[in-house]
C-alpha cells in the first residue's frame, strides 16, 4: 500500500483522523466490522496504535503503525500492521501485551530497541550494528559517529547493538 495525502491537512489533523473511534469497514463477506482504537502514541513520525476489530460477537486486536510524512505542505500516512514486519521498532513495549503475536521477529527487534535506547554509549568502544555483520567503533557522541572498516560514518542510535567486549 502506498502513501495517502489529503491536501492542506496538518499533522495534528491527520493524527486525529487516524485514531478516531469507532471506524467502520466490511469483511470479505460484506459483514460490518467496527474498529476501536484502544491506545495510541507518537514517536517522531511513527504513530503507533492498538486496535480492536469486532464483527458481531467475534473480535481481535492488532498493533498498527502509521508512518507520517509531509509532501507539498500536506501531511499523509502509510499504514501497516505488525504482521507486515515494519522496519520501525519504537512501538511502546506495553502494546506488545495488548495484542496477540503475529510477527515474533519484529517483536524481538522492538524489545532489543528498548533495551538499547536508555544505555550510555561511550567513545572508543566498539558496538555491533543491528541487522548487519559489521561493527562500529564510536568516535563522537554529538553527532553520533563511528568507524566502520576504517571509514567514518554518522550512525543512527537505533542501529547500535550490543557492545563488543575486547575490541
Within this chain, do residues 27 and 109 fall inside the same structural domain, yes or no?
A: yes
| 145/155 Cα distance (integer angstroms) | 5
Contacts with 137 (C-beta within 8 Å, 6 or more apart), sequence order: 124, 125, 126, 146, 147, 167
Which residue, 79, 165, 85, is CA-closest to 131? 85
pLDDT in tens, 18-59: 999 888 888 778 888 999 999 999 998 999 999 999 987 778
Q: Is the dihedral of CA 160, 42, 68, 103 positive or negative?
A: positive
Within this chain, do residues 158 and 110 fall inside the same structural domain, yes or no?
A: no
Within this chain, do residues 68 and 34 fall inside the same structural domain, yes or no?
A: yes
Centroid of chain to Cα 61? 17
Q: Has residue 1 got a pLDDT over 70?
A: no
| 146/30 Cα distance (integer angstroms) | 55
Within this chain, do residues 15 and 79 fall inside the same structural domain, yes or no?
A: yes
Total domains, the chain: 2
Domain that holds residue 63: 4-116
Within this chain, do residues 101 and 140 fall inside the same structural domain, yes or no?
A: no
pLDDT of residue 23: 87
Within this chain, do residues 78 and 154 fall inside the same structural domain, yes or no?
A: no
Within this chain, do residues 80 and 141 fall inside the same structural domain, yes or no?
A: no
The answer to whether 76 touches 14, Cβ cutoff 8 Å, is: yes
Name the grid cell of 109: 527487534
With a pLDDT cut of 90, the percent of the chain lying above it is 61
Within this chain, do residues 24 and 106 fall inside the same structural domain, yes or no?
A: yes
Strand ordering across the sheet containing 151-154: 151-154, 144-148, 135-141, 126-129, 160-164
Within this chain, do residues 132 and 63 fall inside the same structural domain, yes or no?
A: no
Model's pTM, two decimal places? 0.74
Mean pLDDT of 80-90: 91
Amino acid at each position: 500500500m502506498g502513501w495517502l495525502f489529503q491536501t492542506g491537512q496538518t499533522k495534528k489533523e491527520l493524527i486525529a483522523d487516524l485514531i478516531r473511534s469507532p471506524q467502520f469497514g466490511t469483511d470479505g463477506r460484506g459483514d460490518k466490522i467496527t474498529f476501536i482504537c484502544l491506545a495510541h502514541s507518537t514517536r517522531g513520525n511513527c504513530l503507533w496504535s492498538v486496535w480492536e476489530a469486532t464483527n458481531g460477537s467475534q473480535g481481535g486486536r492488532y498493533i498498527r503503525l502509521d508512518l507520517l510524512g509531509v509532501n507539498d505542505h500536506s501531511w499523509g500516512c502509510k499504514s501497516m500492521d505488525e504482521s507486515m514486519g515494519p522496519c520501525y521498532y519504537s512501538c511502546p513495549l506495553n502494546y506488545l501485551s495488548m495484542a496477540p503475536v503475529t510477527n515474533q521477529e519484529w517483536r524481538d527487534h522492538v524489545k532489543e530497541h528498548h533495551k538499547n535506547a536508555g544505555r550510555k554509549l561511550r567513545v572508543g568502544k566498539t558496538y555491533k550494528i543491528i541487522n548487519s555483520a559489521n561493527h562500529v567503533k564510536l568516535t563522537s557522541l554529538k553527532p553520533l559517529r563511528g568507524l566502520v572498516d576504517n571509514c567514518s560514518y554518522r550512525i543512527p542510535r537505533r542501529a547500535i547493538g550490543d557492545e563488543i567486549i575486547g575490541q
